[in-house]
Chains A and B, each alone.
Chain A
């Protein structure tokens, strides 16, 4: 006998809505009690519980979500499978048919939970004991208000338009009853005929429940997420907290794992084979003959619970087996709450493409300014302390933001050897850079990055280096120079040519003087404007090439300067015999997003923030937009 048919039909094609009062509901219940066992939530011994209704006026239609689930009526803890008698021939007695029953008081999450039970118990060889109960039971839904443990709105179970026979919605005056099946309609016609005859009302819109507890991501991201976190340390942590009491599974409206055992009559003449609830959290659950336990660690058991709810059954039935009712966390002494567990796994483990959080990759990290130094009247050097180490190569950039004024890219001026600090040079030009100039050590700025593709310093090993800087272009080459000097013996001669407008615009004067005086590199300067205290001859940077001692075949060249500079320098270098592959250009554009998305930094079809801003000449020479003509 195979069936996958759930007895309650899916959404009634034509759902009807009718108004009725609480008094009419009481009459309806009283009438149903003649034909059915009606169960619903009532206050008994000072607490609310779902039980057989004796007095319709005591039936509660509004009750909090901590009331235990109606699972106990569809899949009870103690369920006789059959009776047997011993002595002579074993005799099996057929079971009696299930009691016709109405469950009046199913919250939307619990209606969803019945669908999960249907999925699991009707699958393959349908469980006839469950089915007989399911078929003999009518489900009447009522609405609810989530508490702080509910997260139904995250798993889409906060409302439903199917899975019930009738649903009672609270309306301004009294209630609106919505039919969900032909059985529900018939129930209304027979037991509340005056209501069934009434004119139909307009349907209420399905309301989204206000849950304060939320998953930080879409529920369909869960199964793939869990696939990546099987060995996550969080399971061990939870395993150490877990008391193994199994309350989570017993209270769960979709947990149905069970044990089967024989319970004898007192006279041992016969007995029953019964099904009792079991739990994957219990010690004996996975124990086999001989005593071996295939899942003995509590961490593994908790992981299994989560995987079953959110991954295994999701992959099988395309429905999360958790309905977000919060019962497990509400009564967990160790405070193991699925939302917290899953959100933590998500934050710690989610791969970037899983991160559905809007603007996450656009959100800067706040970093502290630890030093500010005036380089010139209009240029300042900022030293920033990072929160987490970053790896970069000279030529790469970071995006710096001040909220309210925006974000701009800045090339990194410091050595790539220090991964906990970044230096940037800021020339006060616009609103953002002027605001940066007002900041002091101790202030914070937003930082994203590093982004881009820089110089591969290790490729320069054994070669001579010629660094050609114009104006602010020196900032990028300073980073390169510091990285080269940090491993000075690995390289041949190093020459720096620096052209700048005048002394007042000259960056890193102190360092340049030091380098100039050292024997580590050869520094040459050119000032465009006449008159300077250093005795530097006046002229543009091309003058510095005139008596340059260069062995072109073994020299790598890095050029960084204003756009117009490349037009003159490149032909000069190529004429000197520098290899196109060994000529590196810093082609900075407006690298707004740094993520290859915004399109602002493209040179023809090349995205600077992805493949640049440091390019070998050979890679860009065909690009019409690369070099100003």
Chain B
């Protein structure tokens, strides 16, 4: 019997599930390997036991928390899918900006339907068995993690920083242009997609396991960033650092 897999989404844009659908032919290979029993982007809900649950989105409301706990109890492995599930993503930014003002600015007085609460990562509610980081996730990395799960191998992510992928791609360093980049402390695995596209790294894949924060902050200080500026850099994707 093929392993049974479910995809679940909470607060988020569902872009990660779309990325998986965009794997196109490769997805057909996946469908040979597993049985997808739940996938909201494709088909509806059922309540069977699962071998692997992929969870997208951050957890914002009590009912989401309850649903997540139920998914956990019926899944052998629970893997977060994307930055919202991994880090609470950019959903947590509204707390900084002030939720009520934001709602007013976007929806005016017609915002009664909004039920947002404090955004939390999945791991703050239930134990997880692995993560696929990124905003959105990288399709190839999703496949690699799925393969690892099917072969019962560790679901390791690259342990090195994004700088590695910039060097391998022979991309000029963002800092060279006087632009601050989170690359030196952020986990590689995206093939420096944003840098290739002319942007800087904003940290959607989270910090490496052992970020050299003091060395990195020393570099930032040479670019005249204050402590507040540095903290602000980490805020977009809710990266946890030692605020010393």
Chain A residues close to B by CB (< 8 Å)? 47, 49, 68, 77, 240-247, 250-251, 263-264, 266-268, 277, 279, 282-284, 298, 331, 333-334
Q: Of B147, B159, B185, B214, which contacts A268 at CB under 8 A?
A: B147
Check A243 against B219 for contact (C-beta < 8 Å): yes
- Whether B212 sits at the interface, judged by CB under 8 Å, is yes
Q: Of A247, A264, A277, A282, which contacts B159 at CB under 8 A?
A: A282
A268 vs B208: C-alpha distance in the bound complex, in angstroms? 28
Name the A residues within 8 Å of B163 (CB-CB): 243, 245-247, 333
- Whether B39 sits at the interface, judged by CB under 8 Å, is no
Check B168 against A240 for contact (C-beta < 8 Å): no
- Whether B184 sits at the interface, judged by CB under 8 Å, is yes
Name the A residues within 8 Å of B209 (CB-CB): 283
Name the A residues within 8 Å of B150 (CB-CB): 268
- Whether B123 sits at the interface, judged by CB under 8 Å, is no
Name the B residues within 8 Å of A49 (CB-CB): 170
- Which B204-230 residues have C-beta < 8 A from chain A? 208-210, 212, 214-216, 218-219
- Whether B242 sits at the interface, judged by CB under 8 Å, is no
Q: Closest residue of chain B to A248, judged by CB?
A: B167
Name the A residues within 8 Å of B26 (CB-CB): 266
Closest 5 CB pairs of A and B: A245-B163, A266-B29, A267-B29, A243-B184, A250-B167
Q: Closest residue of chain A to B210, judged by CB?
A: A283
Q: How near does chain B come to A46, taking the closest CB pair, in angstroms?
A: 9
- Which B158-188 residues have C-beta < 8 A from chain A? 159-161, 163-164, 167-168, 170, 172-173, 175, 184-185
Check A47 against B147 for contact (C-beta < 8 Å): no
21 examples of A-B residue contacts, CB within 8 angstroms: A77-B168, A240-B215, A243-B161, A243-B184, A245-B161, A246-B160, A263-B144, A266-B143, A267-B33, A268-B33, A268-B147, A277-B168, A282-B160, A283-B159, A283-B160, A283-B209, A283-B210, A331-B173, A333-B163, A333-B175, A333-B219
- Whether B32 sits at the interface, judged by CB under 8 Å, is yes
Check A241 against B151 for contact (C-beta < 8 Å): no
Q: Of A282, A284, A331, which contacts B167 at CB under 8 A?
A: A331
Q: Closest residue of chain A to B173, judged by CB?
A: A331
A520 vs B163: C-alpha distance in the bound complex, in angstroms? 76
Given A245-B160, A247-B163, A266-B29; A334-B215 close (CB under 8 Å): yes
Q: Closest residue of chain B to A244, judged by CB?
A: B212
A191 vs B49: C-alpha distance in the bound complex, in angstroms? 68
A240 vs B216: C-alpha distance in the bound complex, in angstroms? 10
Name the A residues within 8 Å of B214 (CB-CB): 240
Q: How near does chain A come to B187, taking the closest CB pair, in angstroms?
A: 11
A443 vs B212: C-alpha distance in the bound complex, in angstroms? 49
Check A47 against B172 for contact (C-beta < 8 Å): yes
Check B212 against A243 for contact (C-beta < 8 Å): yes
Check A246 against B164 for contact (C-beta < 8 Å): yes
Given A250-B167, A331-B173; A284-B215 close (CB under 8 Å): no
Name the B residues within 8 Å of A245 (CB-CB): 160-161, 163-164, 184
A266 vs B208: C-alpha distance in the bound complex, in angstroms? 27
Q: How near does chain A come to B158, taking the closest CB pair, in angstroms?
A: 9
Q: How near does chain B come to A27, taking the closest CB pair, in angstroms?
A: 29
Max chain A C-beta neighbours (<10 A), residue from B143, B163, B167: B167
Q: Closest residue of chain A to B140, judged by CB?
A: A266
Q: How near does chain A come to B36, taking the closest CB pair, in angstroms?
A: 16
Q: How near does chain B come to A45, taking the closest CB pair, in angstroms?
A: 9
Check B159 against A333 for contact (C-beta < 8 Å): no
Q: Closest residue of chain B to A77, judged by CB?
A: B168
A333 vs B179: C-alpha distance in the bound complex, in angstroms? 13
Max chain A C-beta neighbours (<10 A), residue from B26, B163, B210, B219: B163
Check A250 against B29 for contact (C-beta < 8 Å): no
Given A244-B210, A333-B184; A284-B33 close (CB under 8 Å): no
A373 vs B209: C-alpha distance in the bound complex, in angstroms? 68
Check A247 against B219 for contact (C-beta < 8 Å): no
Check A243 against B172 for contact (C-beta < 8 Å): no
Q: How near does chain B come to A234, taking the closest CB pair, in angstroms?
A: 15
Q: Closest residue of chain B to A78, judged by CB?
A: B168
Given known contacts A243-B219, A247-B164, what 8 new A-B pairs fall within 8 Å (CB)?
Answer: A68-B167, A68-B170, A246-B167, A247-B163, A247-B167, A264-B147, A283-B208, A333-B175
A282 vs B164: C-alpha distance in the bound complex, in angstroms? 10
Name the B residues within 8 Å of A279 (CB-CB): 160, 164
Q: Closest residue of chain A to B162, judged by CB?
A: A245
A246 vs B162: C-alpha distance in the bound complex, in angstroms? 10
Name the A residues within 8 Å of B30 (CB-CB): 266
A283 vs B219: C-alpha distance in the bound complex, in angstroms? 20
Q: How near does chain A come to B58, taking the closest CB pair, in angstroms?
A: 28
Check A250 against B32 for contact (C-beta < 8 Å): no
A283 vs B143: C-alpha distance in the bound complex, in angstroms? 24
A320 vs B184: C-alpha distance in the bound complex, in angstroms? 29
Check A268 against B184 for contact (C-beta < 8 Å): no
Name the B residues within 8 Å of A68 (CB-CB): 167, 170
Q: How near does chain B come to A92, taking the closest CB pair, in angstroms?
A: 18
Q: How near does chain A come to B51, taking the closest CB pair, in angstroms?
A: 15
Given A47-B170, A331-B167, A333-B173; A241-B215 close (CB under 8 Å): yes
Q: Of B143, B144, B168, B216, which contacts A243 at CB under 8 A?
A: B216
Q: How near does chain A come to B192, taking the closest CB pair, in angstroms?
A: 12
Q: Of B164, B175, B184, B212, which contacts A250 at CB under 8 A?
A: B164
Check A264 against B160 for contact (C-beta < 8 Å): no
Name the A residues within 8 Å of B218 (CB-CB): 241, 334
A263 vs B30: C-alpha distance in the bound complex, in angstroms? 16
Name the B residues within 8 Å of A282 (CB-CB): 159-160
Max chain B C-beta neighbours (<10 A), residue from A47, A247, A266, A268: A266
Q: How near does chain B come to A270, taking the closest CB pair, in angstroms?
A: 12
Check B215 against A242 for contact (C-beta < 8 Å): yes
Q: How near does chain B come to A194, taking the closest CB pair, in angstroms?
A: 36
Name the B residues within 8 Å of A242 (CB-CB): 212, 215
Name the B residues within 8 Å of A331 (CB-CB): 167, 173
Check A250 against B168 for contact (C-beta < 8 Å): yes
Name the B residues within 8 Å of A250 (CB-CB): 164, 167-168
Check B32 against A267 for contact (C-beta < 8 Å): yes
A268 vs B29: C-alpha distance in the bound complex, in angstroms? 9
A553 vs B210: C-alpha distance in the bound complex, in angstroms? 76
Q: Of A77, A267, A268, which contacts B151 at CB under 8 A?
A: A268
Name the B residues within 8 Å of A268 (CB-CB): 33, 147, 150-151
Residue-wise, chain B 135-160 has the 8 Å CB interface mask toward A (1 for contact) of 00000000110010011000000011
Name the B residues within 8 Å of A244 (CB-CB): 160-161, 210, 212, 215
A244 vs B211: C-alpha distance in the bound complex, in angstroms? 8
Check B33 against A243 for contact (C-beta < 8 Å): no
A264 vs B216: C-alpha distance in the bound complex, in angstroms? 35
Q: How near does chain B come to A377, taking the closest CB pair, in angstroms?
A: 61
A49 vs B210: C-alpha distance in the bound complex, in angstroms? 32
A47 vs B176: C-alpha distance in the bound complex, in angstroms? 14
Q: Closest residue of chain B to A86, judged by CB?
A: B151
A268 vs B33: C-alpha distance in the bound complex, in angstroms? 8
Q: How near does chain A come to B55, taking the closest CB pair, in angstroms?
A: 23
Residue-wise, chain B 30-66 has the 8 Å CB interface mask toward A (1 for contact) of 1011000000000000000000000000000000000
Q: How near does chain B come to A71, taking the closest CB pair, in angstroms?
A: 12
Max chain A C-beta neighbours (<10 A), residue from B144, B163, B170: B170
Q: How near does chain B come to A285, taking the closest CB pair, in angstroms?
A: 9
Q: How near does chain B come to A296, taking the closest CB pair, in angstroms?
A: 9
Name the A residues within 8 Å of B219 (CB-CB): 243, 333-334
A267 vs B173: C-alpha distance in the bound complex, in angstroms? 37
A263 vs B161: C-alpha distance in the bound complex, in angstroms? 21
Q: How near does chain A come to B172, taking the closest CB pair, in angstroms?
A: 6
Check B212 against A298 for contact (C-beta < 8 Å): yes
